[in-house]
A and B are shown apart, each in its own frame.
Chain A
């Protein structure tokens, strides 16, 4: 598989007009849901601008979300990055620190990057679970979804993308200070056209009168999700889905029993984990068998490790790519999903 040369920045910019930035939702909300809606109605510039929330990507564990402001400097382990030198650059640029040397990639703030860059005020839900719960909830534009609790807002950011345009995410947090911080984050992310954040304990006070019978899906990330089930039933439409995320089997068990008693069907319990694979280059010319025996492994074993027979060479070059499994989270939580019985059952 060979890759063609990418166009240069100049070539690219010359052939490209305005671009779409979904994190500028105010204009999107005004845009009609017409089949032939012109994309330019919702587009903004392809470059990072003053006031934009952007991602600076340094490495797989060093991902920063910042709001660009004239005169400010982002300091991190890669150096000092002057916002004025980032403002006006197009997304996908490499931005450099003043002292030179290190660069960061300027990227759009997708919910995946937000999850990896946000401040952890609580345990957060990660990508594999988020993408699965989004499928289980059938979250899509125009739908209304409830979330409790908000936590650090990792799930909320992803659901807001799934529900836009015309959908709404009502997210509830019983910890007052955390709710305020989450609210400020949502404002930064520019998702307040879709997200409504409230301070409320849903297990005791429910989801509110105005949502009665209006909600298409409910996501519960609570210590005692079973206690919220009666309130979920009040706000969920017939045939709507409820998903609970819990780390313990006992929590799932109690919630499943409560859901079945309350007339839910298709109660399913799932676990999903992400296995990540790394890759390293092995130069065919440098490859030589070590003769000195090392303690613990025999020379034969080592030879096998060095020369896997099933790794194909990449075209043209004399290099091989060797895959290896990276450490992974061994457990996050279980997802329990159930469907509210239809009208008349």
Chain B
């Protein structure tokens, strides 16, 4: 585990309001400006000199400086008695005018602005320590430019994508992602088939878990999002486990003639002359790799099948193609947002050749953990449960005499 981000690696930056963004640290021609929201850009060298977890703050001179983590939590031993009975809510408490605040912001650092605001507030001194802390935190969010450097772990990336746009990761929250990996028994050395419409984060997290041993066949049609795979900063060995398989090849009765697997025309053909020899060679290499990947998938059943997709038809199609390729005793896990299609699958699986079929929702909420003020965060638009996970283990067919109706335990056994 390296302590500092390096050139060519990714870093997650979080501002004081909790917004997060992933940056590629690059000095090349395609360098990305390290700019969070309305903040001024952070020099690359400054970022590279800091370890993960460090805080950078913009100072009055416009430069970015590393600052220490401070213990900013008020502790009060006596019971809080003050209340807002006599608080005037007429916006008269602040004696600094907006234009004065603007001037201050030109000359001073963000933290100095916050100090000035507090000392010019008629009510600040009369507030409880808890209320003062809350006031300072709110003002700092507005006036202080500060970022925290975070490691691009699965958890951090999942939260970042989710905060930016739920659609980007199919609404797959970090708790669900981790649960999927567990329920599908994703382990080093095993083989998996995955449909990952969550920006490549599922395949990336699986690759990290396999650590170079085993295979992940990632199905796709049309786009092949790789954001998650790239931003996790996986090693070459980790990345090598992930193999792209076009759905077209799986569903075709004659996969070798499908466009995705078709070998290019022999060089020297009319078409071949038009392409530069180097490109033709690259294409041949690419197709050869596809051939090998496809052969290796079809050679053996997979140990697990994971489906994360918004599109119900795509999900159904992948299950139809994937379940016959799942080994007996293998796990299948489907993530989705709609109960009904999953419930229908759940019913069909339980009546068919699956055991341990479970449909689960995760209720996860975050709390403010502060002395005498611990409570769930109050959010108006929280999704405490975010979708469903359906999982199960595939078992062999019942023997002929069982199918004849002797299989009496099923009713009792299938009761949950």
Task: Determine, out of A68-76, A156-164, A170-178, A180-188, the stretch whose residues face the partner at the interface.
Answer: A156-164
Is there an interface contact between B359 and A279, defined as CB atoms closer than 8 Å? yes
**Known contacts A135-B177, A273-B362, A342-B3, A108 near B374 by CB under 8 Å:** no
Verify if B352 is at the interface (C-beta below 8 Å from A).
yes
**Known contacts A130-B182, A239-B51, A268-B366, A42 near B213 by CB under 8 Å:** yes
Shortest beta-carbon distance, B351 to chain A, in Å?
A: 8
Is there an interface contact between A342 and B54, defined as CB atoms closer than 8 Å? yes
Verify if A204 is at the interface (C-beta below 8 Å from B).
no
Is there an interface contact between A1 and B329, defined as CB atoms closer than 8 Å? no
Contacts of B155 in A (CB 8 A): 135-136, 138
Residues of A248-305 whose CB lies within 8 A of B: 249, 252-253, 256-257, 260-261, 263, 265-281
Closest to A261 in B: B71
Verify if B41 is at the interface (C-beta below 8 Å from A).
no
Q: Main SS of the interface on chain A? A: mixed
Is there an interface contact between B213 and A165, defined as CB atoms closer than 8 Å? yes
- Per the bound structure, the CA–CA distance linking A61 and B213 in Å amounts to 33
Residue of A61, A112, A263, A323 touching B69 (CB-CB under 8 A) = A263
Is there an interface contact between A12 and B209, defined as CB atoms closer than 8 Å? no
Is there an interface contact between A112 and B327, defined as CB atoms closer than 8 Å? no
Verify if A122 is at the interface (C-beta below 8 Å from B).
no
Taken residue by residue from 69 to 106, chain A's Cβ proximity to chain B (1 for < 8 Å, 0 otherwise) reads as 00000000010000000000011111000001111011
Verify if A30 is at the interface (C-beta below 8 Å from B).
no
Verify if A153 is at the interface (C-beta below 8 Å from B).
no
Verify if A318 is at the interface (C-beta below 8 Å from B).
no
- Per the bound structure, the CA–CA distance linking A140 and B189 in Å amounts to 14
Verify if A123 is at the interface (C-beta below 8 Å from B).
no
Is there an interface contact between B328 and A91, defined as CB atoms closer than 8 Å? yes
Residues of B361-406 whose CB lies within 8 A of A: 361-371, 374, 376, 385, 388, 393-399, 402, 406
- Per the bound structure, the CA–CA distance linking A16 and B325 in Å amounts to 11
Is there an interface contact between B395 and A270, defined as CB atoms closer than 8 Å? no
Shortest beta-carbon distance, A259 to chain B, in Å?
A: 10
Residue of B191, B359, B369 touching A252 (CB-CB under 8 A) = B369
Residue of B73, B330, B341, B366 touching A92 (CB-CB under 8 A) = B330
Task: Determine, out of A52-60, A195-203, A225-233, the stretch whose residues face the partner at the interface.
Answer: A52-60
Shortest beta-carbon distance, A80 to chain B, in Å?
A: 14
Residues of A299-320 whose CB lies within 8 A of B: 310-312, 314, 319
Is there an interface contact between A265 and B1, defined as CB atoms closer than 8 Å? no
Is there an interface contact between B175 and A103, defined as CB atoms closer than 8 Å? no
- Per the bound structure, the CA–CA distance linking A106 and B396 in Å amounts to 10
Is there an interface contact between B341 and A1, defined as CB atoms closer than 8 Å? yes
Closest to A256 in B: B369
Verify if B223 is at the interface (C-beta below 8 Å from A).
no
Verify if A134 is at the interface (C-beta below 8 Å from B).
yes
Is there an interface contact between B236 and A35, defined as CB atoms closer than 8 Å? yes
Is there an interface contact between A93 and B328, defined as CB atoms closer than 8 Å? yes
Is there an interface contact between A239 and B348, defined as CB atoms closer than 8 Å? no
- Per the bound structure, the CA–CA distance linking A138 and B151 in Å amounts to 10
Is there an interface contact between B344 and A107, defined as CB atoms closer than 8 Å? no
**Known contacts A16-B300, A142-B211, A103 near B367 by CB under 8 Å:** no
Is there an interface contact between B187 and A164, defined as CB atoms closer than 8 Å? yes
**Known contacts A239-B51, A239-B52, A265-B53, A8 near B397 by CB under 8 Å:** yes
Verify if B320 is at the interface (C-beta below 8 Å from A).
yes
Q: Main SS of the interface on chain B? A: mixed
Residue of B54, B347, B413 touching A279 (CB-CB under 8 A) = B347
Contacts of A271 in B (CB 8 A): 364-365, 367, 376
Closest to A33 in B: B212
Interface size on A, residues (CB 8 A): 116
Contacts of B187 in A (CB 8 A): 22, 161, 164
Contacts of A127 in B (CB 8 A): 179, 182-183
Verify if B343 is at the interface (C-beta below 8 Å from A).
yes
Contacts of A257 in B (CB 8 A): 73, 75, 371
Contacts of A105 in B (CB 8 A): 355-356, 393, 395
Contacts of B416 in A (CB 8 A): 59-61, 276, 278, 326
Shortest beta-carbon distance, B197 to chain A, in Å?
A: 17
Is there an interface contact between A31 and B213, defined as CB atoms closer than 8 Å? yes
Is there an interface contact between A4 and B320, defined as CB atoms closer than 8 Å? yes
**Known contacts A3-B323, A269-B366, A276-B359, A20 near B329 by CB under 8 Å:** no
Is there an interface contact between A274 and B413, defined as CB atoms closer than 8 Å? no
Is there an interface contact between B188 and A270, defined as CB atoms closer than 8 Å? no
Contacts of A277 in B (CB 8 A): 339, 343, 346, 359-361, 388
Verify if A146 is at the interface (C-beta below 8 Å from B).
no
**Known contacts A42-B213, A93-B395, A272 near B371 by CB under 8 Å:** no
Is there an interface contact between B54 and A275, defined as CB atoms closer than 8 Å? no
Contacts of B58 in A (CB 8 A): none
Is there an interface contact between A273 and B363, defined as CB atoms closer than 8 Å? yes
Verify if A26 is at the interface (C-beta below 8 Å from B).
no
Verify if B124 is at the interface (C-beta below 8 Å from A).
no
Is there an interface contact between A140 and B208, defined as CB atoms closer than 8 Å? yes
Verify if A118 is at the interface (C-beta below 8 Å from B).
no
Verify if A224 is at the interface (C-beta below 8 Å from B).
no
Residues of A12-62 whose CB lies within 8 A of B: 12, 15-17, 19-20, 22, 28, 31, 33-37, 39, 42-43, 46, 57-61
Shortest beta-carbon distance, A238 to chain B, in Å?
A: 6
Is there an interface contact between B191 and A107, defined as CB atoms closer than 8 Å? no
Verify if B233 is at the interface (C-beta below 8 Å from A).
no
- Give the interface centre of A4, A94, A165, A216 by most chain B CB atoms within 10 Å: A94
What would be 23 A-B contacts, judged by CB atoms less than 8 Å apart? Answer: A5-B324, A8-B397, A12-B328, A19-B303, A28-B213, A59-B415, A94-B395, A102-B413, A103-B402, A106-B329, A107-B329, A107-B355, A131-B175, A134-B178, A135-B174, A135-B177, A138-B153, A140-B208, A161-B185, A239-B52, A277-B346, A342-B52, A342-B53
Question: With contacts A57-B355, A341-B53 known, what are 13 further pairs, Cβ within 8 A?
Answer: A59-B415, A103-B407, A103-B409, A108-B185, A108-B329, A135-B155, A138-B154, A164-B187, A165-B211, A269-B374, A281-B347, A340-B53, A341-B68
- A-B pairs, 7 with minimum CB distance: A92-B328, A91-B329, A92-B329, A141-B211, A321-B347, A135-B178, A269-B369
